[in-house]
Structure 1
Amino acid sequence: MKKLAVGFPFAVVGMAAVGLVFAGAGRGGAQEDQPCPPDDTAPVAELDEHQSAHARTIVAVGERHDVPEFGLAVALATAAQESMLRNLDHGDRDSVGLFQQREPWGSFGERTHPPTAAKFFYTGGAGEQPGLLDIPGWQNMPLTEAAQAVQVSAYPDAYAKWEDDAWTWLADITGTPPPDNGCDPDDGEPDKPVGEDPPPLVDDPAALRARAQAFADASEAGLPDPFYGATSYYLLCAQLAARVHGHAHSGHISALDQWQAYTASGVAVTDGSPPPPGALLFYTNQPWGHVAVYLGNGKAISNDILDEQTGRQGGVYIVDTTEFTDGAWKLPYAGWAPPIY
């Protein structure tokens, strides 16, 4: 666990080094959202007295608003990154408090009143800024993305490093064990493609990866399809997947049509088993669906036309499979199928 710095100036997201000043709980602002003090005032794991009190307040306010445990962990990780769980009276420009909320979120007194600042984080600021509970689909986001959706920080990935600590603090406060990240609860949905690879579906996985890399390299260089000479192949995911496997066309009008055909014929795999290298990964986004080729070790080759969402120029890329479900795409994973053409 990272030990939070105490007793000296430090830098937080978007801030120069600042001195530590603690605002009293009764210092201005709305008081109606202050929860009853937690019965247990013992220090939380590796936090000092002030940090522990603020962590307990964040959790108590969240519980009062029926925030699930993941949301409480998001809030703890956010406050750890923004202020080291300290109630700062100044920061970058007009940012103050545990969450370094800026002036439009509320008065100085409200933003430096820990219960009110925590409530703002969960339910939104006084200026109608969205809180965590206002973010569509936040429960299914990675923790750092959920935090960033509220904070809109210049360092959107910074919250991730506090995730393990946040769950540890939450467990210490609530007595609930941290989640076991080694397994997923059975929610009725097929698991995402992660874990150790089964035996490949192709005779030469290295050759498949080399062929995939040739497509990606040609796309990056602005060159035509290295095997078929086309220039717009990256717009069609099903065609690209077929060509990676040595077929000019998929034989289907869309990836969704291809998946439905595989499902009807009984070759689709929806039991949550990990895909072998060479498998076709299917996603059931409407209306066309999406398909990529699994290359092994968590990597897949895919076209990418979501320029605005991904920040990449449309083309062909080799990416982590998590990009499809947890990255900019947010695609619903359906399962995998052998490359039958």
Structure 2
Amino acid sequence: MKLKFREPSAEARRAVCRSALYGEKHDPEARIRKVTGHRYARLLNSGNAAILLLAHRLEGPLLVPDQGGWRGFMRIPEITGREVLTVKTDLGLLDPEVLDARLTETGASALLVTSFAGYTAEQPIRELADVCRSHGALLVEDASGSVSDPLERLCNGKISDIIIASTGAPKTVNAGGGGFISTSVPQIVQQDMLLSSLKADPYVRAAVALELEAAERNLTETLRACSYLKENLEGVLHPDKRGINVIIPSSDPRGDVKRLRKVINADGRSIFTPCPSYDRVLENAVAVEVKNLDVGSLTPENLEAMAELISSTMGATRPR
């Protein structure tokens, strides 16, 4: 079994070179608007830059999941003095009724949530959006893992007020750097010194424009691979939910990760994350980062071998 770590494509790298050598120009924002359905899109230097921009643009406290989000949700708004509050989840998954009560309690101006809780379970984005709108709050979806969702339930501007994403490696839009923000609310992307300082350089623009074309295949193949692993590994979290990684409870997560790295790696790099981790779940577990693998590696033979090796390696430490 040979696994390859997800890297920007050769076509994207050549586009970067042409941009640097010949000044070739690209318009990734047009493609982003087409994908999200929003009126406006801006390419930025990172997904974190999009969070920083929002922290400056929005007023009032922000709500974030108590786990399964992105650590930047908690840390970046603090730079601007923005208050960040949490809402209780079921291992990262939000319940619309719990969100409704929390918005009533806090009067938060926006909810920041990732498309997939801990990358492993699809959030009920439409239901969450309905709750937010009933309170006059904005739904901000971090779609780093869900750009070009074939089912159009995620990264959909008809549902989410604001969509942000990282396009660094290894992501669904795997450009090696950059990020974007998309919205139909003009005030969010109004041109000023802050937005200018956060913009992406022309080389990132070239890579993002090319990698957007591959996003749907990256996502579709990763979802398929995770579905197979969830069906063939015992005790996984959120087994019936779409996701781009697989999280398995463990009584010795760091030990399991160390042992797994010896038998499974991608070009010598790890695809395992020990938990507790806010970005995944705050429980003892191991996250199998299928999203980090080149989709060409996600063959039936490789997935079968991965499932067997993970089961045999973690068998003694999996909680009963």
TM class, shorter-length: under 0.3
TM-score, length-scaled by structure 2: 0.25
TM-score, length-scaled by structure 1: 0.24
- Which structure is larger by alpha-carbon Rg, 1 or 2? 1
Q: Which has the higher helix share?
A: 2
Q: Which has the higher strand share?
A: 2
Q: Higher RCO, 1 or 2 (CA under 8 Å, sep at least 6)?
A: 2
